[in-house]
Chains A and B, each alone.
Chain A
Amino acid sequence: MINFANLKINLTQEEQDILHGKQGQTMQKIMETLVLYGEALNAEKLVEIEGNGHLVICWPIPGISPPMQMLDEFVDCGLRTRFPFTLDPEAPLDFENLHLKGWQEQVLREIYKDQEQYEQKMLQLGLRDKFAFTCNPYLPEVGNAPERGTVLAWSESACVIFANSVLGARTNRNGAIIDLLSNIAGKTPLTGLLTDEGRRATWLIQVATSKLPFPSLLGAAIGQKVLAGVPFIVGLDRYLGPRLQGYTIDYLHEMGAACATFGAVGLYHVENITPEARDYGRGLLAEGYETFLIDDQTIRELQASYPVLWADKRAKPKKCLIGCPHLSLRQIYWWVHQIKDALVSKGKNQLSVPTIIFSARQVIEKFRENSEAHEQLKRAGVTFSATCPLALFDKDISADDAIVTNSNKLRAYSTARFFTDEELIEIIVTGEIEG
């Protein structure tokens, strides 16, 4: 049993009352969990959440989301998150876009058989609306973009790191289930990335490459090195410029997702670019910070170290997945132009590798409004999906498929083979992998 009397965390009278059961057993368990969580993380106290949530728990898969009984308990008690929330991507049930075999679709139908029921419960618990599913919720088309300084309890590692670093909001890296409990209680521990001290940089990362590194390779190199540290990255503004807009936002989104996949990084600063780095500069570096230099060799060796996990290592690619994390509208247009130019240069009309682009439903709908561009990609063999490419690897259903991707995050959690954008364009147009 846990002795709450010995804890160091300071609790308000209301929190103590909840802990003693004055708001019922379920709220008591929620508060017990948050108090112990705060104590483990050395929090001084719990603080109020100030804005909309974003949670990773998008599918009713045991081990990925809360068990259905837990959700039933919350719904039965009339509990709801203090602010609305968005969720990670939709379930992979839009089969017309996914190029799957019949047996693969059957497996997915079985895995996601409770999805509708689960979404109903999520709506009852505070899901913003029935289309609020994406891992890129701060896109203008989706609209969950917290203001700088807002205290949050977000999960989804790619979203946490973006909200902290690029938007300047304040959230720790909350895990699945704790995210929901925090947002129901409306409280989160004051510790780590919620504090000025916790946002100071413990690493100075010098990017000394001869060109802008591929974002998810740079992110992986940083994440592996700093683990849970806060990197202050210098040298990127040479290539990205000082303005936090357009391509820079997409670049930082992809870099951050990889940083968080290969480490436990929840915040980075980029000199002259991200909000806190612009305001405080190298003054953000904590005493005794460590230094790491990344050059062309670091990036080259990292990519070369990735094993080929295909059953047939010399297979020709059968499918290409782009959009982990979900693409912005700007990125979709970038692919439109790249694919078009590559096809023209090879004298072809169609890609040799069927390609799926993943993005938020709202972004895909916006893109479809441009019927010419949409038709162009459709004719080339590209489909769009608002689900998550990782879901196509559930129960190893794609283990025997030779899948290529430009996502280092997807590679980390699947058998997909990773290539940079430049390499990938060549592969999907020709159907061949060089070397």
Chain B
Amino acid sequence: MRFKGRAILAGTIKGEALVTHSGFNTLASFYSCICSQTTEAICSDSGNRELYGRNMTDKIICLPKTIGSTSGGALWQRIADMGIAPKAMLFSEQIDSIAAGGLIVADIWMKRRIYTIDRLGNEFLRYVKNGDIIKIEEDGTVVIL
């Protein structure tokens, strides 16, 4: 199954899907790992029943948008620097400002790319399941293998 979105931070990679249908609270999800300097990013957002306790490192996170604190903007460069970031962020909706700023800062200032595609549509989020292998292409195409 193929979906076409807009590549914001483009690239070609393959990885495993981790899906949330509710807003992804960046600060709540990563706060525990940056505080405790963990080697894996275990989701600490107790409000997100789909992701809480799951390992997000090297996954392809499929989500509608990010939500919550504007502190979330700085987290992306930090987790990328720690080597515990997801491989990619696939937004079904238009990317929100906190995620856009944070992911672009990580890319330009830390030279750490977390591949980012938005506007994949609601059907994408209905179709994709945890553990699906996803291929991302340079032009914003997402293939669920």
Report which A residues bind B (CB closer than 8 A): 29, 32-33, 36-37, 40-42, 56-57, 61-67, 70, 155-157, 160, 172-179, 181, 192, 223, 227-228, 260-264, 307, 309, 394-396, 412-413
Identify A228's interface contact among B31, B96, B108, CB under 8 A. Answer: B96
Q: Are A413 and B97 in contact (CB under 8 A)?
A: no
Q: Are B104 and A173 in contact (CB under 8 A)?
A: no
Chain B CB count within 10 A is highest, among A29, A64, A156, for A64
Q: Are A413 and B36 in contact (CB under 8 A)?
A: no
Q: A174-B70, A395-B36 are in contact. Are A37 and B101 (CB under 8 A)?
A: yes
Q: Are A177 and B70 in contact (CB under 8 A)?
A: no
Q: Are B79 and A178 in contact (CB under 8 A)?
A: no
Least CB separation from A160: chain B residue: B70
Q: Are A63 and B68 in contact (CB under 8 A)?
A: no
Give Cα distance in the complex from A263 to B99, angstroms: 13
Q: Are A264 and B78 in contact (CB under 8 A)?
A: no
Q: Are B104 and A64 in contact (CB under 8 A)?
A: no
Q: Does B133 contact A (CB under 8 A)?
A: no
Q: A65-B74, A172-B97, A177-B77 are in contact. Are A33 and B67 (CB under 8 A)?
A: no
Q: Does B43 contact A (CB under 8 A)?
A: no
Q: Are B94 and A42 in contact (CB under 8 A)?
A: yes
Q: Are A173 and B97 in contact (CB under 8 A)?
A: yes
Residues of A within 8 A of B64 (CB): 227
Q: Are A227 and B65 in contact (CB under 8 A)?
A: yes
Q: A157-B70, A412-B28 are in contact. Are A62 and B98 (CB under 8 A)?
A: no
Give 26 CB contacts A-B under 8 Å.
A37-B97, A37-B101, A40-B95, A40-B104, A56-B69, A56-B73, A63-B34, A63-B74, A65-B74, A155-B70, A155-B71, A173-B70, A173-B97, A173-B98, A175-B71, A175-B74, A175-B98, A178-B104, A227-B23, A228-B93, A260-B68, A263-B67, A264-B67, A264-B96, A394-B35, A396-B35
Q: Are A178 and B27 in contact (CB under 8 A)?
A: no
The 8 closest A-B pairs by CB, nearest first: A175-B73, A63-B78, A178-B101, A176-B74, A63-B34, A155-B70, A40-B100, A175-B98
Give, as a whole number of angstroms, the nearest-CB distance from A38 to chain B: 9
Q: Does B66 contact A (CB under 8 A)?
A: yes
Q: Does B140 contact A (CB under 8 A)?
A: no
Least CB separation from B118: chain A residue: A40
Q: Does B128 contact A (CB under 8 A)?
A: no
Give, as a whole number of angstroms, the nearest-CB distance from B78 to chain A: 3
Q: Are B79 and A63 in contact (CB under 8 A)?
A: yes
Q: Does B32 contact A (CB under 8 A)?
A: yes
B 35-76 contacts with A by CB, 8 A: 35-36, 46-47, 64-75
Give Cα distance in the complex from A179 to B78, angstroms: 16
Give Cα distance in the complex from A60 to B97, angstroms: 23
Residues of B within 8 A of A173 (CB): 70, 96-98
Least CB separation from B26: chain A residue: A175
Give, as a whole number of angstroms, the nearest-CB distance from A188 to chain B: 10
> What is the interface size of chain B, counting residues whose CB is below 8 A from a CB of the partner?
44
Least CB separation from A61: chain B residue: B34
Q: A62-B34, A227-B65 are in contact. Are A33 and B108 (CB under 8 A)?
A: yes
Q: Mark B102-116, 1 if CB is under 8 A from A, else 0.
A: 101100110000000
Residues of B within 8 A of A41 (CB): 95, 97, 100
Q: Does B125 contact A (CB under 8 A)?
A: no
Give, as a whole number of angstroms, the nearest-CB distance from A64 to chain B: 5
Give Cα distance in the complex from A163 to B93, angstroms: 26
Least CB separation from B66: chain A residue: A264
Give Cα distance in the complex from A331 to B50, angstroms: 37
Give Cα distance in the complex from A29 to B73, angstroms: 17
Residues of A within 8 A of B124 (CB): none
Residues of B within 8 A of A262 (CB): 47, 67-68
Give, as a whole number of angstroms, the nearest-CB distance from A304 to chain B: 14
Least CB separation from B73: chain A residue: A175
Give Cα distance in the complex from A9 to B32, angstroms: 37
Residues of B within 8 A of A66 (CB): 74
Residues of B within 8 A of A176 (CB): 70-74, 102
Give, as a whole number of angstroms, the nearest-CB distance from A47 to chain B: 15
Chain A CB count within 10 A is highest, among B8, B78, B94, B97, for B97
Chain B CB count within 10 A is highest, among A41, A155, A156, A260, for A155
Give, as a whole number of angstroms, the nearest-CB distance from A155 to chain B: 4
Could you list 14 further interchain pairs (A-B, Cβ under 8 angstroms) beyond the known A33-B109, A62-B81, A176-B72? A57-B74, A61-B34, A160-B70, A174-B101, A175-B70, A176-B71, A177-B77, A181-B105, A228-B65, A260-B69, A261-B68, A264-B68, A412-B28, A412-B47
